[in-house]
A and B are shown apart, each in its own frame.
Chain A
Amino acid sequence: MASRAQPIGLVRWLGGGAAALVLMLALGTLGAVFLHAEGPGGLGPADWAALRFTLLQATLSAALSVGLAVPLARALARWRFPGRRLLIILMGAPFILPVIVAVLGLLAVFGRGGVLNDVLGRAGFEPVSIYGLPGVLLAHVFFNLPLATRLLLQGWQAIPAERFRLAATLGFSTRDVFRWLEWPMLRAILPGAFMVIFLICLTSFAVVLALGGGPRATTIELAIYQAFRFDFDLSKAAQLATLQFAIGAAVAAVALNFATETAFGPGLDRPVLRFDAARVWLRAVDGAMILAAAIFLLAPLSAVVIAGLGQITTLPAPVWHAAARSVAVALASTAITIALALPLALLVASPGQRRGWHSRVMQPIGYLSLAASPLVIGTGLFIILFPITDPVALALPVTAVVNAVMSLPFALRILTPAIADAEADFGRLANSLGLAGLARLRLLTLPRIRAPLGFAAGLAAALSMGDLGVVALFAPLDGATLPLQLYRLMAAYRMESAAGAALLLLMLSFALFWLFDKGGRFRAHA
């Protein structure tokens, strides 16, 4: 049979192994936490309040991000202006921006001593505080508005230019265009975009740690953190984790049915002539929307850069040590991400398997980690490894592994279509030449997916570099990563050092992403 020529054997073993490992990490660790839980624990009123707040903030964050993204994406889709391309590229930046850096930037603009309150104070208004729900929403919209905009912009650009030309010849007004062309597209894309952002905000930790807290603004993830860190109540932590997992899995299951392509990639620059939007007042509205979004997204970043510039040369030694640790963790985490993602993607994308049980079972396994709590995975690993070795020494390796699992869905999303393309274009040629196993990987697959592989590695490195999650639980005082060190500086109100550390973290995250991404595209022959 023809299918015998496909080099499935090796791929199946490696892919199956990777899938088993991810399953163990996502579910096995939860089991380990459960097994070590003592006593009934039980969820109190505070925990149910955390559940309510979690759902509230995730719903509002997703609704605000998507709601604001509609006019913004529409403005970007129907208007050409100098710097448009740059702005769209910059829209990808929050994705690799360390959360804690963004929080610092948002505080510099919207915080108690920030630019906004400065202006308000001079105008005679009461200062506003962004701690609690407003701050959490502000940060989540800051991170997810660009994502939602890119998703929607992709939808807009999937509408063929000929449709708009036809609309122009038929004398469609802006409202007609919306009704007949844009609304059908939005109806297809909005639910998926909402779900993705809801999921991201559901397990959001660093934002809530820095801007939330207190009985009225605690999420489940933060409650898990507090259960571990302050009470060491494994039972309660495990119950909370199960609750969060159930919500996440339910949302993910719904979201899979609204499957939309995520727009993390480059491109997105095909402006279409829009005759219906040529009116002056429409241009003014679009322009104001774009300007407001640009200021909202760029002002916090600029604030971090400006505040940090003077401080970066005088950073205390522990910050530099933390930076070195973070780079090491990020590189290890990137290697683990690729080692897990590549076999999984090969298995899912391999010919003849696309409609088989592999893709139906394997792909959801890759996305399990979106629903799993990183804190629980980390704690589970500690509990499992505790009898074998010293847990404090494991803080950094465990962080690297947990970060890798968190990056896995994105890496899979990027690599799977690239491998499928390589197979579609050159699979037959490779089969006719007997290119199989490792030789096929070396001579066909890897060279063909270099650019997406570099992009995925860059994302994984930047995400790990900026992650403030599981490491906050276990790192010893002298073993922090850079994001944790930055958080500690902020908590100690050492704002000058914090500003310098934030700029350093920002630069390192972007540099790691840039290096991998460029490396993938360097002398790549399409």
Chain B
Amino acid sequence: MLTLEDLVIAQGNFTLHADLAVPGAARVAILGPSGGGKSTLLGAIAGFMAPANGRILWQGQDIRHLPPSERPVSILFQDNNLFPHLTAAQNIGLGLRADLRLSASDQEKVRRALERTGLQGLGNRRPAQLSGGQQSRVALARMLLQNKPLMLLDEPFSALGPALRNEMLALLKDLAKETGATVLLVTHDPAEARLFAPLAIPVADGHVHPPADTVALLANPPSMLAAYLGRPGGM
């Protein structure tokens, strides 16, 4: 379980408040207008910015003071998720060992991860030689090998077309089920949220709201979310 306890993140004039808990093995969409603080929230959980106040707990342990790589977290950003000068296999291997000194069994794991994500035979290619969808698969394969219990995704598939994006979400869903990880997916697409995540966390105006049932939330959105969705508020 991920608990954000009276969390305050300050960035210049902008502050973000969060006080909520996310159950284990959940798939959660983080919804809201751009500039509302979705990426900031993910950045704080992943360790890229220090909170001004409050605690971040994973299974009851405070992880606030851990560097990003020591947190129980794997993360995909909007872009630059792969090193362009390394091959697909090397990029995936970084999920096992950051210095890329891979043993034979490590290399076998990389090979299986390539296979599992539909990239067999493409391990020696560099990102520039792969399609957008394949690049996303490489990033997901690395997440699979990182095997962290908390997967954070900050709109990593936003450059893909709708069909490919759905394909990636389906793959992500399968991988999360296999590893039992909790997934937080930032999206601004209600349909994507409905498709992927049983739970949704609305983020707007500097406030992170507790997770709620996605379908119910979208059918009957609170006012701040309604304005974003372009519908009259029901709450």
Q: Which residues 330-388 in A have Cβ within 8 Å of B in the complex?
A: none
- Answer whether residue A123 sits at the interface, using C-beta atoms and an 8 A cutoff: no
Known contacts A429-B77, A439-B98; A434 and B69 CB within 8 A of each other = yes
Question: Could you tell me if B95 and A1 are in contact, using CB atoms closer than 8 angstroms?
Answer: no
Chain A contacts for B14, CB-based, 8 A: none
Question: Could you tell me if A432 and B99 are in contact, using CB atoms closer than 8 angstroms?
Answer: no
Question: Could you tell me if A525 and B99 are in contact, using CB atoms closer than 8 angstroms?
Answer: no
Known contacts A4-B67, A429-B77, A431-B68; A443 and B48 CB within 8 A of each other = no
Chain A contacts for B98, CB-based, 8 A: 433-436, 439, 443
Question: Could you tell me if B85 and A448 are in contact, using CB atoms closer than 8 angstroms?
Answer: yes
Chain A contacts for B81, CB-based, 8 A: 429
Known contacts A435-B94, A436-B98; A525 and B84 CB within 8 A of each other = yes
Q: Count B interface residues, CB 8 Å.
A: 28
- B58 CB to closest chain A CB (Å) equals 15
Chain B contacts for A439, CB-based, 8 A: 98-100
- Answer whether residue B52 sits at the interface, using C-beta atoms and an 8 A cutoff: no
Q: Report Cα–Cα, A429/B68, bound state, in Å.
A: 10
Q: Report Cα–Cα, A448/B146, bound state, in Å.
A: 24
Which residue of chain B has its CB nearest to the CB of A4? B67
- A368 CB to closest chain B CB (Å) equals 34
Chain B residues packing against A (C-beta within 8 Å): 46-50, 65, 67-70, 73-75, 77, 80-81, 83-86, 94-95, 98-100, 126, 128, 146
Sort chain A's interface into a size bin. Answer: 20 to 34
19 A-B residue pairings within 8 Å (CB atoms)? A2-B47, A2-B50, A2-B68, A5-B47, A5-B67, A429-B83, A431-B47, A431-B69, A432-B46, A433-B69, A434-B67, A434-B70, A435-B94, A438-B99, A442-B99, A443-B86, A525-B85, A525-B128, A526-B84
Chain B contacts for A526, CB-based, 8 A: 84
Chain B contacts for A324, CB-based, 8 A: none
Chain A contacts for B75, CB-based, 8 A: 432
Question: Could you tell me if B99 and A443 are in contact, using CB atoms closer than 8 angstroms?
Answer: yes
Chain B contacts for A436, CB-based, 8 A: 69, 98
- A9 CB to closest chain B CB (Å) equals 13
Known contacts A431-B69, A443-B86, A443-B94; A2 and B49 CB within 8 A of each other = yes
Chain A residues packing against B (C-beta within 8 Å): 1-5, 425-426, 428-429, 431-436, 438-439, 442-444, 447-448, 450, 524-526
Chain A contacts for B146, CB-based, 8 A: 433
- B156 CB to closest chain A CB (Å) equals 11
Chain B contacts for A4, CB-based, 8 A: 65, 67
Which residue of chain B has its CB nearest to the CB of A444? B83
Q: Report Cα–Cα, A2/B69, bound state, in Å.
A: 10
Question: Could you tell me if B85 and A433 are in contact, using CB atoms closer than 8 angstroms?
Answer: no
Instruction: For A2, give its contact among B67, B77, B80, B99 (CB under 8 Å).
Output: B67
Instruction: For B48, give its contact among A2, A438, A448, A525 (CB under 8 Å).
Output: A2
Question: Could you tell me if A524 and B85 are in contact, using CB atoms closer than 8 angstroms?
Answer: yes
Question: Could you tell me if A525 and B70 are in contact, using CB atoms closer than 8 angstroms?
Answer: no
Known contacts A426-B83, A432-B74; A5 and B126 CB within 8 A of each other = no
- B170 CB to closest chain A CB (Å) equals 24
Which residue of chain A has its CB nearest to the CB of B80? A425
- B164 CB to closest chain A CB (Å) equals 22
Q: Report Cα–Cα, A3/B67, bound state, in Å.
A: 7
Which residue of chain B has its CB nearest to the CB of A442? B99
Q: Report Cα–Cα, A1/B47, bound state, in Å.
A: 8
Q: Report Cα–Cα, A444/B86, bound state, in Å.
A: 9
Chain B contacts for A450, CB-based, 8 A: 85
Known contacts A443-B99, A525-B85; A426 and B80 CB within 8 A of each other = yes
Q: Report Cα–Cα, A434/B67, bound state, in Å.
A: 8
Which residue of chain A has its CB nearest to the CB of B64? A1
Q: Report Cα–Cα, A459/B65, bound state, in Å.
A: 44
Chain A contacts for B84, CB-based, 8 A: 525-526
- A435 CB to closest chain B CB (Å) equals 5
Question: Could you tell me if A447 and B77 are in contact, using CB atoms closer than 8 angstroms?
Answer: no
Which residue of chain A has its CB nearest to the CB of B128? A525
Q: Report Cα–Cα, A433/B145, bound state, in Å.
A: 11
Which residue of chain A has its CB nearest to the CB of B44? A2
Chain B contacts for A1, CB-based, 8 A: 50, 65
Q: Report Cα–Cα, A431/B67, bound state, in Å.
A: 8
Which residue of chain B has its CB nearest to the CB of A438? B99
Chain B contacts for A442, CB-based, 8 A: 99
Which residue of chain B has its CB nearest to the CB of A450? B85
Which residue of chain A has its CB nearest to the CB of B82? A429
Q: Report Cα–Cα, A433/B47, bound state, in Å.
A: 12
- A523 CB to closest chain B CB (Å) equals 10
